[in-house]
């Protein structure tokens, strides 16, 4: 017994490695045998040969990076605003000028008055009566010439005023620079094109003569930077509040007009006189008219009223903007 116990204690004091050597593990298949972690990290694995049955399915040639050609039948999803209008089957109005009746009347009325005064001054003092200094006929002759120049300035006021602008698909409009002889159909397979139809206001109300029309490309219609100034950026809530305020003001003015019928003629006369004096001022100063260039020639674009598609932003997106140097 003492010898047996002494042998057991000696066996328990052996290290763990020797204990494993004394008691080997039972034999397991190779797929279930434990692997040493340190050996798998420190010792590199030997390269294994690929099985001849498993081969790569990729071609041995180098891949080509040539760009794919777009199919001609597929149309682009993103289209420009010009292409969108060109694809329409009907013309699109872009701008309608306000009424210029008072402006034309005041311009021609002032020109007639100055012409009459110029003729009277030249006729009266051309043969000066006796006793008048020598310089008086020359002074009145110069004043008559100046009055004639003022008459010419007022008479040219209604000239070259743009009445309307319309975006016309090229297959529907007339050729640029030629008279309209009928609709024009574009050939199939060509890209849609757009042209602007600019109608000018007649200087004299001639009943049997049509208004002059100019056909040009959108990039041939050049506007100044002041006309193309973007509007102030407003949020949808601010736009909604502004529209509600305008509607409230219109309703209030309509209610005031209905409740004060007796004083309506005086208010209307006051408004008419104000518009008359405003037209006289515009006849001299050309206030509210902007110069636009069409095919190298300048025309007048009225911005004081009228109607414009999308508050004028549609025309600005099509036209070319000429910035000041």
Q: Is pLDDT of 323 > 90?
A: no
pLDDT attached to residue 313: 85
Report the range out of 132-136, 248-252, 305-309, 320-324 with the highest average pLDDT.
248-252
pLDDT at 105 over 90: yes
The full set of domain ranges for the chain reads 81-100+158-322, 101-157
Q: What Rg do the C-alpha atoms of the chain give, in angstroms? A: 45
| Cα pseudo-dihedral 176, 177, 182, 188, rounded to 10 | -30
Tokens 């003729």 map to which residue?
119
Residues 173-189, buried b or exposed e (16+ Cβ, 10 A)?
bbeeeeeeeeeeeeeee
pLDDT-derived band at 39 (thresholds 50, 70, 90) equals very low
State the Cα–Cα distance between residues 247 and 245, nearest whole angstrom: 5
Q: Which residue has the tokens 């008691």?
A: 23
Query: Virtual CA dihedral for 165, 171, 176, 180, nearest 10 degrees?
Result: -80
Helix or strand (DSSP H, E) at 96 = strand 92-96
Read off the pLDDT of each residue in 35-41 and give the average, rounded to a whole number: 43
Q: Please state which of the ranges 41-50, 150-159, 301-310 shows the lowest mean pLDDT.
A: 41-50
* pLDDT (average), residues 303-309: 88
Q: Determine the Cα–Cα distance for residues 278 and 99; give it in Å rounded to an integer.
A: 13
Cβ contacts of residue 169 below 8 Å, gap of 6+?
A: 85, 86, 87, 88, 89, 91, 186, 192, 193, 194
Q: Check the CA dihedral 170-173-179-183 and report its sign.
A: positive
- What pLDDT score was predicted for residue 1? 44
Question: Which two structure tokens, joined as six digits, stand for 282?
Answer: 């515009």
Residue 160 pLDDT grade (very low, low, confident, very high; cuts 50, 70, 90): very high
- Between the alpha carbon of residue 157 and those of residues 6, 32, 100, 150, 190, the distances in Å are 132, 104, 11, 11, 43
Phi and psi (nearest 5°) for 286?
60, 40
pLDDT band at 274 (very low <50, low <70, confident <90, very high): very high
306 touches 95 (CB < 8 A): yes
> What is the chain's mean pLDDT, rounded?
75
C-alpha distances (whole Å) from 162 to each of 166, 175, 195, 201, 310 are 11, 20, 16, 6, 18
Given this model, what pLDDT does residue 68 score?
Answer: 46
Residues paired with residue 130 on neighbouring β-strands, in sequence order: none
pLDDT at residue 175 tops 80: no
Whether residue 144 is predicted with pLDDT greater than 50 in this model: the reply is: yes
pLDDT at 84: 87
Span of 67-81, 235-249, 288-302 with lowest mean pLDDT: 67-81
Higher pLDDT, 120 or 171: 120
**Which one-letter DSSP state was computed for residue 208?**
T
Question: For residues 115 and 305, which has the higher predicted lDDT (pLDDT)?
Answer: 115
- In 3D, which of 94, 321, 318 has the Cα closest to residue 194? 318
pLDDT at site 204: 83
Closest CA to 160 of 299, 295, 306, 304: 299
pLDDT of residue 60: 52
Indicate the range of 33-42, 137-146, 164-173 predicted with least confidence: 33-42
Tokens of 185: 């159909």
pLDDT at residue 74, as a whole number: 42
Q: What is the mean pLDDT of residues 56-67?
A: 48
In this prediction, residue 22 has a pLDDT band, given cuts at 50, 70 and 90, of very low
Question: Quick one: pLDDT at residue 79?
Answer: 60
What is the average pLDDT across 114-130? 82
Question: Residue 169's beta-bridge partner residues?
Answer: 194
Gap between the Cα atoms of 165 and 315, Å rounded: 9
Copy the structure tokens of residue 167: 């975006």
The dihedrals phi and psi of 180, each to the nearest 5 degrees, come to -75, 120
pLDDT band at 36 (very low <50, low <70, confident <90, very high): very low
- What is the Cα 307 distance to its own chain's centre? 16
Residue 150 has, within 13 A of its CA and on its CB side, a CA count of: 17
Q: What per-residue confidence (pLDDT) applies to 325?
A: 59
pLDDT tens, position by position, 196-254: 999 999 988 778 888 899 999 999 999 887 776 666 677 888 889 988 999 999 999 99
């Amino acid at each position: 017994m003492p010898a047996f116990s002494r042998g057991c204690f000696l066996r328990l004091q052996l290290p763990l490695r020797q204990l494993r050597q004394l008691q080997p593990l039972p034999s397991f298949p190779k797929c279930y045998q434990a692997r040493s972690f340190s050996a798998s990290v420190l010792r590199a694995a030997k390269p294994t040969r690929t099985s001849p049955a498993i081969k790569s399915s990729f071609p041995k040639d180098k891949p080509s990076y040539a760009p794919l050609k777009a199919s001609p039948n597929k149309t682009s999803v993103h289209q420009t605003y010009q292409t969108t209008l060109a694809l329409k089957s009907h013309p699109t109005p872009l701008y309608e000028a306000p009424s210029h009746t008072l402006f034309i009347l005041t311009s021609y009325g002032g020109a007639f008055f100055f012409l009459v005064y110029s003729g009277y001054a030249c006729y009266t003092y051309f043969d000066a009566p006796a006793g008048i200094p020598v310089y008086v006929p020359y002074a009145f002759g110069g004043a008559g010439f100046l009055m004639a120049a003022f008459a010419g300035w007022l008479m040219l006021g209604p000239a070259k005023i743009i009445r309307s602008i319309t975006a016309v698909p090229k297959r529907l409009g007339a050729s640029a620079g030629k008279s309209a002889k009928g609709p024009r159909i574009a050939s199939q397979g060509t890209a849609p094109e757009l042209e602007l139809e600019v109608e000018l206001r007649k200087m004299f109300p001639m009943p049997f003569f049509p208004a002059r029309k100019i056909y040009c490309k959108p990039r041939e219609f050049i506007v100044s930077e002041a006309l193309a100034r973007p509007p102030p950026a407003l949020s949808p809530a601010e736009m909604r509040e502004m529209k509600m305020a305008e509607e409230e003001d219109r309703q209030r003015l309509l209610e005031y007009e209905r409740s004060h019928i007796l004083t309506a003629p005086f208010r209307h006369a006051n408004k008419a006189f104000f518009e008359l004096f405003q037209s006289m001022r515009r006849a001299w100063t050309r206030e509210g008219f902007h110069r636009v260039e069409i095919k190298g020639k300048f025309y007048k674009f009225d911005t004081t009223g009228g109607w414009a598609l999308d508050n004028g932003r549609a025309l600005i997106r099509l036209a070319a903007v000429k910035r000041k140097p």
